[in-house]
Structure formats: C-alpha cells, structure tokens
Chains A and B, each alone.
Chain A
Amino acid sequence: MDNSAYKEIYVFAEQRGGKIQGIALELLGKARDLATVTAQQVVAILAGYQVTDQANELIAFGADKVIVVDDAVLADYLTEPYTQALAGVIKQYKPSVILIGATTIGRDLGPRLSARVTTGLTADCTRLEIGEEGELLMTRPAFGGNLMATIVSKEHRPQMTTVRPGVMQKADRDDSRKGEVEILKVDFDTSKFRVKLIEQVKADKGLLDIADAKILVSGGRGVNSAENFEKLKQLAHVLGAEVSASRAMVDAGVISHERQVGQTGKTVRPDLYIACGISGAIQHLAGMEESGYIIAVNKDKYAPIFQVADLGIVGDVNKIIPLLADRLQKEISA
C-alpha cells in the first residue's frame, strides 16, 4: 500500500441536532498540535443536514479546511448513512489520520467504518503523538486501566482512533482564522438503510455534564449513605461545583451513572477534584488523575487515592466535609 498518497489530519466533527459537540473541538485542538509537528493540514468532516453554516465554527477552533456532507439522510445519527458518508470522504480525499470521539456515536461509527475501508481502529486513546517515521502513536489504557498500550498502524491508512471526551483540550476560539469549506456530494445507497429511528428521547438531566465541570466534589464508599451524600452536595453548592461519584455510589443507587467518574464512567479533568471517601481503585484513578489539583479525604491512610492526591487528609469524611462547607460558606459571605 502506498501510504504517501494519504495526507492530512482529519477530525470527525460530531454534531447532534445541528449543534457541534465539545468533543469535536477537543479533537481539533489535538489535531492542531499533531499537524504542527508534521506540517500537515487539519481537516474537519462535518456530516449532517442543514449544518453547512456551522463550518466556520470549526475553522475558528482550528480547522484549515472543512468538508461538508449535507444531506437529509444525515439528519439524525444512524450507523449506515454516516458510514457511507465517511467512507465517501476517505475514498475521495485519502486522509492520513482520522480522529473520532469515543461517544455512543463515534464508538458505533468507528468500527463499522474501519471494517468497511479495511483499516485498524484504536479505541479510546488518551494520548496521541507523532512517531519517528511520522506515524501516529496512539496510547490507550487496557486491562481496566492497569496497563497502557501504544498502538500503531504501520501499513494501513487512514490511521483511525477514537478519543474519549474530556481528555484532549480545545484551542481558544479565534474568529479571525481563515479556512476553506468544501461541499462533498455522496451518492447514498439507500437500499442499505435498514434501521429506522422511531424516537429520540432526552432524559432530563438538568445539570451540567461532569466532564465540563471546573470543580468536582466526588463521593465514594466512605460517604456511606444518601444522607451523607447530601452534605457533599452542600459543599458543591458553596464552591459552585458539581457532584460526581465512584462506582460504589452508583451501584448503591445514590447517584446516576452519568455522574460516575472512572474507566466505566467518565474521564474528568477539573481544576479541582475533591475525593471524599474514595479509596481510589485504579479504574477510578484512570478517570480523574489528570485533574489540576486533587484533594482526598479518607480514613484509611494507605488508600491508593493518596498516591495521586496533591493534598491528602486522613480522617472522617462525614465530619470534615460538613465542617468545610460551613467554614467556606462563612469565608465567602464574609
């Protein structure tokens, strides 16, 4: 296979209901870093219906070029139409790299697409770098976060990977950036469209996504009860923070799965992470260790959470947290 024909770094710009998703901007931020190293262009693929006017948004966040596939069959995400759209882009433009968000869309689309165009797909990378021969080094956790593996695609192009939301950082918006917008017409084979969307239901969350939170107050087994968890909510309220949890609290039904931090929950990197009664199983650490400043309160002084904490307090979380909330309340209102 002649790999030199495959050029530029592509980003699948995920949108939902015509709204560009945060993950698309995070991937553009990372693609810019990679493109600088290899002197390549960053190209965004924008697939959807009546989305063409969103292309400028992608340019402002780092795309040099936006390829738009705008078609009524792409109005809502469905596997087959989107796979055909992306396969069409690959055939026409021959990307060297495609970055896709590890969302319920990207993790449905990515593997289908990889099998269609016969290339590798590395799942849920947490680090991307350029290797000595210009190849993409894709690093990801395996064995529940116990092991890191760096994956390469030597022969096959495009080099495809999904990236978890919250891991890469988006660039600052720059509306003065210039870029091209190109419209690609794809001939869809509608005879292959065998899945119909009946209904799209939004569960009422009413709260900020924990992946976007600047401060997280997070509870674990040591919090012990829903009643004590309320105290964490009070602290979060004082700090303008969101609450999250380790798997123990989710399994106990105290909090919903959307608020779970860790390997099977979400990856977060807030400026401040306060781990309350969380022992720090490796699966949990994998989801939060990149946080800016980590405070851990736990009664077991050998708890693994202290290995990643900037400030560790050995003590009773259910005494310390309410006291902290009270004292902070006074400090702030003073």
Chain B
Amino acid sequence: MKIIVCAKQVPDTTEIKINPQTGTLIRDGVPSIMNPDDKGGLELALRLKEQFDAHVTIITMGPPQADAILREALALGVDRAILLTDRKFAGADTLATSNALAGALRNLEFDLIIAGRQAIDGDTAQVGPQIAELLDIPQVTYLEDLKYDGDKTLTIRRQTEEGYQVLETEIPCMVTVLASAYQARYMPVKGIVQAYDREVETWSFENISVDESKLGLKGSPTRVHKAFTKGVKGAGEQFEVDADEAVGIIISRLKQKFLI
C-alpha cells in the first residue's frame, strides 16, 4: 500500500495576539507547527505502515522553511518527504493550492491520500475534497476511524453532528482526518538525529504538470478584498464586590432586561 500524507505548516494560532494600539496581528515569535489535524493524519499513516508495511510519503506546499515539518515527519518514520515550493504558487487560494498539490500527486503513486480535516490558520477544510475531485477519486471527510482489509476495502467511521456514519469504499481514495482521532506519537531521539541526514526532495513548478494559469494568485477564483481585526466591543459595567452583593446586581440586571 502506498500512502501520501498532505500536511501544512501553520502558525500556532493559539499564540497569536492582537496589538491593542495598532489593531494588527503580532506574528513575531509565534511558533510554526505541523497543523494538528494533519498530524493526526500522519499518525494514521504510520499505523498503517506498521500494520501493512505501507510506504508513506509526506508532501507539503509552502515556503522553504516548511521543510521543518517534513524533518519532523522523517523523524517519526515516513519513507519519503517532498517540499513543493515555487514563487509561482504564492498567493494561492484553496482551489489554486489544490491544483498545485493535485499536479504533484499525479506524478506520484498512491492508494490512499491522507490529509487533515482543516488547517488552524484558515479553517477552510477545502483542500482535501478539492484534491480528491481533481484526481477523480472518492473522498471521506471528518474521519474518526479507518479499517483496512489488507486488500482493497476501507471501512471508515465519519463524524457527523448527530453521531457518526460508517462508510465503505475502495482504494484509491482520499480521507481527511480529525486530530482527535489519532493521538500523535513522540519523536524518538534517534529519529530526530537521522532526520537531518535524510533527503527532503524539493519540487517546483517544473515537477508538476499544471497550466500556470491555474496556480498562485492568478489561478485563484477568490480574492481577499480587505482584512481587518475585529473592533473590540465596548466593555460593559464591572463590579468587584462580595458574592452576596454580586448576586443582587446580577438579579436586578436580569429583571431590567426582562431575562427573568
């Protein structure tokens, strides 16, 4: 079985703060990490590798420094790592990103493509399904569990609002995984050391067979019209009093507002 994991390097958004004076994002010093859902997907791939001797390739599209998450994946045990990077990909929205990644995936062999459900910097959950469409393979999103019969059939549990669905499909297939489904393993020290001696392949526009008009900003149907930080709603009244008085104030406001 040949598996490809699609992963993204993201800023740890829980660490981002807004400068209250300028209203802009403070990105300095915010650590970059492997997107959590993608890390869950990588863990699934590694378990299939252990169980079925699967060959695992990881691919990421991004700037040269995205290499860091590929080293992390190598340390965890993937067989091959590819960094897809080119100025021609810059400014891509989800569809243009999917066009580039699908172009690279067409030049690789795969039975199963695994991506995270969504990335924490954009939360779009679009690139997985769009790649699946461009490659004309079925997709299953919101994956909670996957069973492989060792031949062709995958039985997948998919999270829904009400509970879950059990779905069956055959390889080749694309799945998008929830971080909570697979607790990622820790990097072994030996793996970390070896990861820096191993090769990360760098692929550019030349390595994919996609028309330039479908890539980067030019290939993006959507544009950012404007970006802004949310104005903070004015704080209301605040009291620092003992519990008894506080309860009195709360009840009086609830009555004023006809909430009780």
A144 to chain B, nearest CB (A): 3
Q: In the complex, what residues of A have CB within 8 A of residue B244's CB?
A: 323
Among the listed stretches A3-11, A88-96, A178-186, A198-206, which one makes contact with chain B, having 4 or more residues with CB under 8 Å of it? A198-206
What number of A-B contacts does a CB cutoff of 8 Å give?
A: 246
Count residues on chain A whose CB falls below 8 Å from chain B CBs.
86
CA distance A210 to B139 in the complex (A): 30
Q: In the complex, what residues of A have CB within 8 A of residue B251's CB?
A: 324, 327-328, 331
Is B130's CB under 8 angstroms from A323's CB? no
Q: Of residues 74 to 96 in B, which have CB atoms within 8 Å of A's CB atoms?
A: 93-95
Q: A104-B161, A143-B11, A199-B165 are in contact. Are A152 and B222 (CB under 8 A)?
A: yes
Q: Of residues 235 to 255 in B, which have CB atoms within 8 Å of A's CB atoms?
A: 235-244, 246-247, 249-251, 253-254
Nearest-CB residue, chain B, relative to A240:
B260
Among the listed stretches A62-70, A218-226, A302-310, which one makes contact with chain B, having 4 or more residues with CB under 8 Å of it? A302-310
Nearest-CB residue, chain B, relative to A102:
B125
Q: A112-B133, A144-B120 are in contact. Are A323 and B247 (CB under 8 A)?
A: yes
Is B25's CB under 8 angstroms from A203's CB? no
Q: Of residues 109 to 163 in B, which have CB atoms within 8 Å of A's CB atoms?
A: 120-130, 132-134, 138-142, 155, 158-163
B90-105 near A? 1/0 per residue, CB < 8 Å: 0001110010000000
Is B164's CB under 8 angstroms from A203's CB? yes
Chain B at the A interface: SS class: mixed
Q: In the complex, what residues of A have CB within 8 A of residue B189's CB?
A: none
Nearest-CB residue, chain A, relative to B141:
A108
Is A150's CB under 8 angstroms from B25's CB? no
Chain A at the B interface: SS class: mixed
Nearest-CB residue, chain A, relative to B137:
A194
User: Which of A112, A124, A271 is the one whose CB lies under 8 Å from B130?
Assistant: A112
Is B167's CB under 8 angstroms from A150's CB? no
Q: In the complex, what residues of A have CB within 8 A of residue B142's CB?
A: 104, 108
Interface membership of B259, Cβ < 8 A: yes
- Of the four ranges (under 10, 10 to 19, 20 to 34, 35 or more), the interface on chain B belongs to 35 or more
Is A312's CB under 8 angstroms from B236's CB? yes
Is A311's CB under 8 angstroms from B253's CB? yes
Q: A107-B125, A320-B243 are in contact. Are A119 and B221 (CB under 8 A)?
A: yes
Interface membership of B226, Cβ < 8 A: yes
CA distance A331 to B241 in the complex (A): 21
Is A79's CB under 8 angstroms from B138's CB? yes
Interface membership of B204, Cβ < 8 A: no
Q: A144-B16, A201-B164, A281-B14 are in contact. Are A111 and B125 (CB under 8 A)?
A: yes
Q: A123-B125, A198-B168 are in contact. Are A149 and B229 (CB under 8 A)?
A: no
CA distance A16 to B123 in the complex (A): 24
Is B129's CB under 8 angstroms from A115's CB? yes
CA distance A309 to B237 in the complex (A): 8
Q: In the complex, what residues of B have CB within 8 A of residue A39's CB?
A: none
Nearest-CB residue, chain B, relative to A165:
B161
Q: In the complex, what residues of A have CB within 8 A of residue B18's CB?
A: 146, 282
User: Which of A143, A307, A331 is the one whose CB lies under 8 Å from B121?
Assistant: A143
Is B257's CB under 8 angstroms from A293's CB? yes
Q: A80-B138, A104-B160 are in contact. Are A314 and B239 (CB under 8 A)?
A: yes
CA distance A142 to B13 in the complex (A): 9
B150 to chain A, nearest CB (A): 18
CA distance A104 to B134 in the complex (A): 21
Is B224's CB under 8 angstroms from A313's CB? no
A298 to chain B, nearest CB (A): 10
Is A312's CB under 8 angstroms from B237's CB? yes
Interface membership of A151, Cβ < 8 A: yes
Is B235's CB under 8 angstroms from A112's CB? no
Q: In the complex, what residues of A have CB within 8 A of residue B125's CB?
A: 107, 111, 123
Interface membership of B233, Cβ < 8 A: yes
User: Which of A123, A154, A195, A332 is the one whose CB lies under 8 Å from B223?
Assistant: A154
Q: In the complex, what residues of A have CB within 8 A of residue B130's CB?
A: 111-112, 114-115
Q: In the complex, what residues of B have CB within 8 A of residue A289's CB?
A: 233
Nearest-CB residue, chain B, relative to A201:
B163
B216 to chain A, nearest CB (A): 14
Interface membership of A177, Cβ < 8 A: no
Is A203's CB under 8 angstroms from B163's CB? yes
A sample of 29 inter-chain contacts (CB < 8 A) reads: A16-B162, A79-B140, A104-B161, A111-B124, A116-B133, A123-B122, A143-B11, A144-B13, A144-B16, A146-B25, A147-B229, A149-B227, A150-B224, A151-B222, A195-B168, A197-B167, A198-B155, A198-B168, A200-B163, A201-B165, A283-B14, A293-B253, A307-B233, A313-B249, A313-B250, A314-B240, A315-B242, A324-B250, A328-B251
A residues sitting closer than 8 Å to B (CB atoms) are 16, 78-80, 83, 103-105, 107-108, 110-112, 114-116, 118-124, 131, 137, 141-144, 146-156, 194-203, 205, 215, 239, 257-258, 263, 271-272, 281-283, 289, 293-295, 297, 301, 306-316, 319-320, 323-324, 327-328, 331-332
The 10 A-B pairs of least Cβ separation, nearest first, read A144-B13, A120-B221, A120-B222, A115-B133, A123-B124, A203-B163, A111-B126, A310-B236, A312-B238, A111-B129
